[in-house]
């Protein structure tokens, strides 16, 4: 390039940079770039704007139930509201926050909570709720950051053992054979394993395998959330147990037998038992109504009973123009009758204590789920935990040929970078 | 690049015409300047800034709250020792194997198809060209959906394999590297020397795992969809090759293989260069297929740097890291292109090797003169 | 390949090479080679075509049959359930409409802007022409993956995020298209334009009424390329929109295939969606195939 043209290029570059800086000035930036902490200063915003509710649905049953509830509220309150079922909830949320146009209300999981609170995307409103004292304390604790109750738990679920009663009876097993220890589980799974069908199936993820870890007495992060304890001998024991039975064919990961998740494997009778949470009840009744099943508590491991607890909350966007309306909607959606209706439609348990008795009465066969809540541990809530769990899950997929000690050690080092600080 | 000088204009209106031309020139190119500048130039500058800043994803990245952090993001990816580095290492490894396998395979296959189609009779040629080129026309989303079906556990491929007695793997759910499988290592740990150290957070043993079975399915898909386009490029070049050299070589008793290797192939050099460049650039940017098909699963063996850049920013809200990854990828592509250009450059052929070629050309010329 | 030696010997025995003799009598070995060639070509062509046949066939099967008998091209029970679900219980028609709107607008816009710019770069002398051209070349070198995050940021800043404008405007210009038009304009003789200029026509008039009609072949190429490009575009739509009303076919079908809404193996549904999505480009392809294939071939000379 001759010098003349080079000078021209520099000139053009200067022009571009100037334009960029001008853009910065007149750009549609957003005020409210608060640093850390959920924005809670001042009152809630209020307007007549329609609300957008984004959910990460487990299936048509859940989407329909939420849409019905929101429509009913809409009629009552006179405010328009729209439900959007996300294809990829975390991505769509992050994109919405970055663009400044997030949904007003959305499902917020425990592992995403800290990250969004950290960059000021969510509005803490827990203390403003009328029914804030009604929520289970353990759930409130899950959604409290820096002593601030951020969002209302919308429901919760625990993992339990789902058993196909027809296949159970066909294999000659009875009620007395429902496993209560790991050895019994192994035996029963072995008995139920036949050609083309596996005894026990579950997803290849911490959100399922973690139940075994809990039963062995191990966890990812200690109760205070300040220390990473992933590479404990208890966890190794749990993973070794799972690995041994993956190897002998009585356990299997859902993906390895061609199913998208445990519920599908169960519904298609590719597995006689699965470890799943409450949501499986809605999925089964919608997609596989002919499969007969019963729910049992997970068996005890070396350290006693253990299971995992999952809960999401209704997150409220700090950038929402109509937070008062959103708050009203949340109170409606977490009311007793609404939560019971949701439970009916797709299975999870109400997050308020006052509804527990009604729920048990309505769903006696699902009592083991509720019983699990007494000893369940939740997913850790530290910032950045989601990525660590994703990586853990990726390694779990090759557990059958992998080394539990090595896997847990890598998780430990990842956790240490995230926890404690 | 410059147009031919036009005949000198007559009349006094020349100055007026030229001025109008200048203005028209700017006006005509204004749309593309604005759009390219706004949506390509400036964004790159903005992303460069984000990669050097700590923008957290809310509000404008150009606001006063966002501060300059130097090479922190780049350091986190290349040497931080945490998940960011490991993820980047995994993504690089996956994409490197992908490039290593796809580029030679697609080049060879498209050349092979071009040679075959070139020898076919004129009428049949059109049909075969269409058949081989059609997959390139479809969208990557549509093809990925189709591929997920073909390679599912109970899909067409496994069914076909079962006819010849092979038990096909659970393609898109199998994270084992094919090199590891070939060496009989499955997924267990390898020799001490290779597992004790590594690069970018991945042990050497894992680097040498080869593409996973899932990635291999995607490799097949890439070859399937791009071979048609490159076949057309080769076809055009083949049809431009003069026949005299070939005939001369035939006289001298060279068989088809020798003729292909020593005469046809060297003349295809420019096309080969184009195909390799396009292939390299395309392969290092795999995104659509991962987004639609596997989202990095199984076991993160189908994550590519492009997809990682996207997820770091849009899902994990680590915009600085996402931007940094994309610029490192840019660098990688540039390096590869330059390297490939250097490797395929026209080198001065040694005199000794030149002689037979010159003799053949001279002989062909002589025959032509003699025959006319 | 022994046939070539046979041919060589024949040529030698017959004396100095004459113009290629009419192929009246083919040695048997040669026929065998031709047959083998065609066989090979046909087998490979079948491998290339078969997946699409399977795709269409499966879209008419039931879910269970799709998994139990994936290879058969004729479903044992032909059912339209997948199509019904696709058109009545998902937003597929909306996606199709969105894709159509965006594609048509982008194609029209591109044809206009790209030919304008190509003409200016080829014919008009104006200061800074070199810089503009260098910019176009530089842009072609930037891989699109680098632009994912940045485009999102800029669309946000400009307030174009989540709107049709944001989807269409960035796609309106394509550096490769400018190249093609510029090369084309440089290849036509300037005499007609010169004449018009002397007659007093303005630059735009010359461009619009004289040069553009001559450029029909290149314009058709641009139409095809931009139709294909914008119909099949995915990453741009991911970063430029978020609301379900603006979802295009690519984004929607990708969500069908991978998102949380894709529970279960609903293969007929997904394949039906993919098949319908391919139809417009396929139609375009079959109509214009000669031109498409010649363009790609021409790229090698360009």
Q: Is there a contact between B55 and B61 (Cβ–Cβ < 8 Å)?
A: yes
Contacts of C17 (CB under 8 A, 6+ apart): B247, B251, B367, B371, C11
pLDDT by residue (tens digit) across B213-239? 999 999 999 999 999 989 988 988 888
Task: Please tell me the total number of residues recorded for chain B in this structure.
Answer: 372
Predicted local distance difference test score (pLDDT) of residue C18: 53
User: In chain B, pLDDT over 90 holds for what percent of residues?
Assistant: 25
* Mean pLDDT over each residue of chain B, to the nearest integer: 83
Question: Would you say residue C142 lies in a domain?
Answer: yes
pLDDT class of C139 with cuts at 50, 70, 90: confident
pLDDT by residue (tens digit) across A356-388? 888 888 888 899 998 888 888 888 888 888 888
Q: Which residue has the higher pLDDT, C222 or A61?
A: C222
**Dist. CA A248–CA B157, nearest whole Å:** 27
pLDDT by residue (tens digit) across B155-175? 899 989 989 988 888 888 888
Asked whether residue A10 carries a pLDDT value surpassing 60, the answer given is: no
Predicted local distance difference test score (pLDDT) of residue A2: 44
Q: Domains in chain A, ordered, with CATH?
A: 51-156+310-378 (3.40.190.10), 158-308+379-418 (3.40.190.10)
Q: Is there a contact between A392 and A111 (Cβ–Cβ < 8 Å)?
A: no
Q: Is there a contact between A270 and A259 (Cβ–Cβ < 8 Å)?
A: yes
Q: For residue C157, what are its two tokens?
A: 């800043």
**Dist. CA B210–CA B186, nearest whole Å:** 12
pTM above 0.90, yes or no: no
CA distances from C121 to A1, C117, C296 (A): 18, 6, 22
Q: Is there a contact between B100 and B177 (Cβ–Cβ < 8 Å)?
A: no
The angle subtended at Cα C26 by Cα C20 and Cα C31, nearest 5°, is 120
3-state class percentages of chain A: helix first, strand second, coil last, to nearest 5: 50, 20, 30
**Dist. CA A30–CA A45, nearest whole Å:** 16
pLDDT by residue (tens digit) across B41-65? 888 888 888 899 888 777 777 777 7
Q: Which residues of B touch A392 (CB under 8 A)?
A: none
Q: Is there a contact between A301 and A242 (Cβ–Cβ < 8 Å)?
A: no
Residue C13: other Cβ atoms inside 10 A = 7
* Mean pLDDT over each residue of chain A, to the nearest integer: 85
Q: Which residue has the higher pLDDT, C41 or B372?
A: C41
Q: Which residues of A touch C156 (CB under 8 A)?
A: 28, 98-100
3-state class percentages of chain B: helix first, strand second, coil last, to nearest 5: 70, 0, 30
Q: Which of A94, A116, A400 has its CB closest to that of B314?
A: A94
Cβ of B299 within 8 Å of Cβ of A119? The answer is no
Cβ of A27 within 8 Å of Cβ of C157? The answer is yes
Predicted local distance difference test score (pLDDT) of residue B15: 54
Q: Which of B41, B153, B176 has its CB closest to that of A16?
A: B41
**Dist. CA B229–CA B114, nearest whole Å:** 10
Q: Shortest Cα distance from A373 to chain C (angstroms)? A: 26
Asked whether residue A199 carries a pLDDT value surpassing 50, the answer given is: yes
Q: Which residue has the higher pLDDT, C153 or A107?
A: A107
pLDDT class of C23 with cuts at 50, 70, 90: low
Predicted local distance difference test score (pLDDT) of residue B140: 92
pLDDT by residue (tens digit) across C184-209? 888 888 888 888 888 887 888 888 88
pLDDT class of C119 with cuts at 50, 70, 90: confident
How many domains does chain C fold into? 1
Any CB–CB contact under 8 A between B219 and chain C?
no
Chain B: list its partners (3+ Cβ pairs within 8 Å): A, C
Q: Which residue has the higher pLDDT, A74 or B263?
A: A74
Asked whether residue A277 carries a pLDDT value surpassing 80, the answer given is: yes
Q: Which residues of A touch B176 (CB under 8 A)?
A: 398, 401
pLDDT by residue (tens digit) across C69-96? 888 888 888 889 889 888 888 889 999 9
**Dist. CA A36–CA A150, nearest whole Å:** 13
Best mutation target, A29, A205, A317, to test chain B (most B CBs within 10 A): A29
Please spell the DSSP secondary structure of A302-316, one letter per residue: TTB--EEEEEEEEEE
Q: For residue B42, what are its two tokens?
A: 């400036």
Distance, CA of C39 to chain centre: 29
Out of A182-196, A303-317, B261-275, B282-296, least confident range:
B261-275
Question: Would you say residue C113 lies in a domain?
Answer: yes
Q: Which residues of A touch C159 (CB under 8 A)?
A: 28
Contacts of A297 (CB under 8 A, 6+ apart): A160, A161, A305, A307, A368, A371, A372
Q: Shortest Cα distance from C24 to chain B (angstroms)? A: 15
Nearest CA among A66, A42, A52, A35 for reference residue A312: A66
- Region B239-267: what's the mean pLDDT? 77
Predicted local distance difference test score (pLDDT) of residue A11: 47
Nearest CA among B234, B211, B224, B232 for reference residue B101: B211
For chain A, positions 251-290, list CB contacts with chain C under 8 A: 258, 260-261, 264, 283, 287
Predicted local distance difference test score (pLDDT) of residue C279: 93
Asked whether residue A303 carries a pLDDT value surpassing 50, the answer given is: yes
- Region A310-333: what's the mean pLDDT? 92
**Dist. CA C257–CA B292, nearest whole Å:** 6
Any CB–CB contact under 8 A between B63 and chain C?
no
**Dist. CA A312–CA A416, nearest whole Å:** 25
pLDDT by residue (tens digit) across C42-73? 999 999 999 999 999 999 988 888 888 888 88
User: In chain A, pLDDT over 70 holds for what percent of residues?
Assistant: 90
Name residue A296's beta-bridge partners: A161
Asked whether residue C10 carries a pLDDT value surpassing 50, the answer given is: no
Nearest C-alpha in B relative to A395: B299
C136: left (phi over 0), alpha (psi -120 to 50) or beta: alpha
Predicted local distance difference test score (pLDDT) of residue A420: 66
Q: Shortest Cα distance from B231 to chain A (angstroms)? A: 35
Predicted local distance difference test score (pLDDT) of residue A302: 92
Predicted local distance difference test score (pLDDT) of residue A55: 92
Contacts of C56 (CB under 8 A, 6+ apart): C271, C275
Any CB–CB contact under 8 A between C51 and chain B?
yes
Predicted local distance difference test score (pLDDT) of residue C294: 63
Question: Would you say residue C115 lies in a domain?
Answer: yes
**Dist. CA B32–CA B42, nearest whole Å:** 14
Distance, CA of C107 to chain centre: 12
pLDDT by residue (tens digit) across A12-54? 554 555 454 444 444 443 333 344 444 445 678 888 888 999 9
Structural domain of C236:
91-263
pLDDT by residue (tens digit) across A211-268? 999 999 999 998 878 889 999 999 999 999 999 999 999 999 998 888 888 888 999 8
pLDDT by residue (tens digit) across A342-358? 888 888 899 998 888 88
Out of A42-46, A156-160, A214-218, A300-304, least confident range:
A42-46
Predicted local distance difference test score (pLDDT) of residue B362: 82
pLDDT by residue (tens digit) across B300-340? 899 999 999 999 888 888 889 999 999 999 999 888 888 87
Predicted local distance difference test score (pLDDT) of residue B225: 94
Question: Would you say residue C98 lies in a domain?
Answer: yes
* Mean pLDDT over each residue of chain C, to the nearest integer: 82
Q: Shortest Cα distance from B271 to chain C (angstroms)? A: 6
pLDDT by residue (tens digit) across B131-153? 999 999 999 999 999 999 999 88
pLDDT by residue (tens digit) across A389-410? 988 998 898 898 888 998 999 8
Question: Would you say residue C19 lies in a domain?
Answer: no
Predicted local distance difference test score (pLDDT) of residue B217: 94
For chain C, positions 243-302, list CB contacts with chain B under 8 A: 249-250, 253-254, 256-258, 265, 267, 270-271, 273-275, 277-278, 281-282, 285-286, 289, 292-293, 296-301
Architecture of the domain spanning B81-175+212-345: Orthogonal Bundle (1.10)
Helices B140-150, B213-240: axis angle to 10 degrees equals 130
Name residue A273's beta-bridge partners: A163, A200
Peptide bond into C224 cis (omega under 30): no
Question: Would you say residue C183 lies in a domain?
Answer: yes
Residue B4: other Cβ atoms inside 10 A = 8
Question: Would you say residue C86 lies in a domain?
Answer: no
Nearest C-alpha in B relative to C53: B146
Nearest CA among C47, C92, C105, C109 for reference residue C279: C92
Q: Which of B42, B314, B316 has its CB closest to that of A20?
A: B42
Question: Would you say residue C50 lies in a domain?
Answer: no
CATH number at residue C135: 1.10.3720.10
User: In chain B, pLDDT over 70 holds for what percent of residues?
Assistant: 89
């Amino acid at each position: 390039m001759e010098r003349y043209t080079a000078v021209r290029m520099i000139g053009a570059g200067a022009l571009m940079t100037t334009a960029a800086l001008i853009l910065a000035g007149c750009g549609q930036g957003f005020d409210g770039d608060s640093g850390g902490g959920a924005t809670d200063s001042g009152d809630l915003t209020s307007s007549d704007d329609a609300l957008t509710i984004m959910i990460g649905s487990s299936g048509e049953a859940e989407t329909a139930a939420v849409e019905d509830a929101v429509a009913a509220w809409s009629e009552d309150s006179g405010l328009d509201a729209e439900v959007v079922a996300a294809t990829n909830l975390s991505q769509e949320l992050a994109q919405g926050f970055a663009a400044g146009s997030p949904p007003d209300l959305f499902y917020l999981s425990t592992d995403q909570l800290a990250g969004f609170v950290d960059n000021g995307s969510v509005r803490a409103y827990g203390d403003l709720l009328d029914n804030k004292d009604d929520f289970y304390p353990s759930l409130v604790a899950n959604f409290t950051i820096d002593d601030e109750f951020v969002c209302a738990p919308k429901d919760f679920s625990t993992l339990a053992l789902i058993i196909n009663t027809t296949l159970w009876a066909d294999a000659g097993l009875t009620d007395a054979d429902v496993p209560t220890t790991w050895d019994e589980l192994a035996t029963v799974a072995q008995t139920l394993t036949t050609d083309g069908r596996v005894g026990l199936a579950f997803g290849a993820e911490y959100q399922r395998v973690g139940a075994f870890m809990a039963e062995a007495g191990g966890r990812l992060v200690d109760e205070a959330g300040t220390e990473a304890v992933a590479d404990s001998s208890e966890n190794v024991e749990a993973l070794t147990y799972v690995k041994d039975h993956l190897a002998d064919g009585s356990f299997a990961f859902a993906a390895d037998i061609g199913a998208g998740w445990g519920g599908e494997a169960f519904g298609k009778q590719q597995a006689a038992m699965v470890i799943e949470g409450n949501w499986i009840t809605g999925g089964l009744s919608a997609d596989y109504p002919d499969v007969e099943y019963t729910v049992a508590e997970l068996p005890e491991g070396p350290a006693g009973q253990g299971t995992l607890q999952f809960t999401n909350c209704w997150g409220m966007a700090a950038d929402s123009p109509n937070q008062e309306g959103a708050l009203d909607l949340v109170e409606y959606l977490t009311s007793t009758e609404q939560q019971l209706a949701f439970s009916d439609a797709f299975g999870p348990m109400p997050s308020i204590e006052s509804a527990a008795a009604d729920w048990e009465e309505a769903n006696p066969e699902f009592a083991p789920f509720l019983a699990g809540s007494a000893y369940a541990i939740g997913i850790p809530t530290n910032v950045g935990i989601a990525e660590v769990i994703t990586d853990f899950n990726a390694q779990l997929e090759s557990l059958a040929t992998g080394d539990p000690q090595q896997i847990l050690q890598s998780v430990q080092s990842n956790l240490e970078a995230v926890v404690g600080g | 690049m410059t147009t031919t000088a036009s005949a000198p204009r007559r009349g006094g209106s020349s100055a007026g015409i030229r001025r109008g031309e200048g203005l028209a020139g700017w006006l005509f190119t204004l749309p593309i300047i604005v759009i390219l500048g706004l949506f390509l130039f400036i964004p790159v500058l903005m992303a460069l800034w984000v990669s050097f800043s700590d923008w957290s994803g809310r509000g404008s990245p150009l606001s006063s709250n966002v501060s300059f952090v130097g090479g922190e993001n780049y350091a986190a990816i290349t040497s931080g020792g945490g998940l960011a580095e490991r993820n980047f290492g995994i993504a690089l490894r996956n994409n490197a194997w992908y490039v290593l396998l796809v580029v030679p395979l697609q080049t060879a296959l498209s050349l092979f198809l071009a040679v075959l189609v070139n020898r076919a009779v004129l009428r049949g040629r059109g049909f075969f060209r269409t058949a081989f080129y059609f997959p390139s026309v479809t969208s990557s989303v549509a093809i990925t959906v189709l591929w997920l079906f073909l390679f599912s556990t109970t899909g067409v491929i496994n069914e076909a394999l079962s006819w010849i007695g092979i038990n096909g793997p659970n393609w898109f759910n199998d994270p084992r590297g094919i090199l590891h499988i070939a060496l009989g290592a499955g997924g267990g740990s390898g020799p001490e020397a290779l597992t004790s150290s590594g690069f970018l957070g991945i042990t050497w043993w894992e680097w040498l795992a080869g593409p996973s079975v899932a990635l291999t399915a995607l490799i097949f898909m890439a070859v399937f969809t791009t071979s048609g386009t490159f076949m057309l490029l080769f076809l055009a070049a083949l049809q431009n090759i003069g026949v005299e050299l070939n005939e001369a070589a035939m006289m001298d008793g060279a068989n088809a293989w020798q003729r292909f290797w020593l005469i046809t192939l060297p003349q295809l050099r420019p096309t080969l260069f184009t195909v390799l460049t396009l292939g390299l650039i395309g392969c290092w940017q795999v995104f659509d297929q991962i987004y639609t098909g596997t989202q990095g699963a199984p076991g993160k063996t189908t994550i590519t740097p492009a997809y990682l850049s996207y997820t770091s920013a849009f899902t994990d809200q680590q915009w600085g890291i996402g931007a940094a990854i994309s610029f490192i990828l840019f660098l990688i592509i540039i390096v590869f292109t330059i390297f490939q250009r250097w490797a395929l450059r026209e080198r001065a052929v040694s005199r000794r090797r030149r002689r037979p070629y010159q003799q053949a050309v001279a002989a062909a010329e002589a025959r032509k003169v003699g025959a006319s | 390949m022994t046939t070539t030696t046979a041919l060589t010997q024949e040529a030698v025995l017959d004396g100095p090479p004459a113009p290629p003799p009419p192929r009246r009598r083919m040695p048997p070995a040669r026929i065998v080679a031709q047959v083998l060639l065609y066989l090979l070509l046909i087998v490979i062509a079948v491998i290339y075509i078969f997946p699409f046949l399977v795709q269409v066939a499966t879209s008419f099967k039931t879910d269970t049959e799709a998994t139990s008998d994936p290879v058969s091209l004729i479903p044992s029970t032909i059912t339209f359930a997948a199509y019904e679900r696709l058109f009545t219980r998902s937003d597929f028609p909306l996606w199709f409409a969105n894709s159509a709107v965006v594609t048509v607008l982008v194609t029209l816009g591109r044809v206009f802007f790209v030919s304008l710019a190509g003409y200016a770069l080829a014919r008009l002398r104006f200061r800074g022409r070199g810089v503009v051209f260098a910019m176009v070349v530089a842009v072609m070198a930037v891989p699109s993956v680098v632009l994912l995050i940045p485009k999102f940021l800029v669309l946000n800043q400009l307030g174009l995020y989540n709107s049709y404008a944001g989807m269409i405007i960035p796609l309106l210009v394509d550096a490769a298209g400018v190249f093609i038009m510029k090369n084309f304009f440089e290849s036509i003789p300037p005499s007609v334009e010169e004449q018009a200029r002397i007659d007093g026509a303005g630059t735009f008039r010359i461009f619009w009424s004289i040069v553009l009609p001559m450029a029909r072949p290149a314009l058709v190429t641009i139409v095809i390329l931009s139709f294909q490009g914008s119909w099949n575009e995915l990453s741009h739509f991911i970063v430029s929109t978020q609301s379900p009303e603006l979802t295009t076919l690519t984004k929607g079908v990708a969500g069908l295939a991978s998102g949380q809404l894709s529970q279960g193996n609903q293969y007929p549904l997904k394949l039906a969606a993919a098949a319908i999505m391919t139809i417009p480009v396929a139609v375009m392809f079959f109509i214009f195939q000669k031109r498409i294939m010649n363009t790609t071939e021409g790229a090698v000379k360009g």
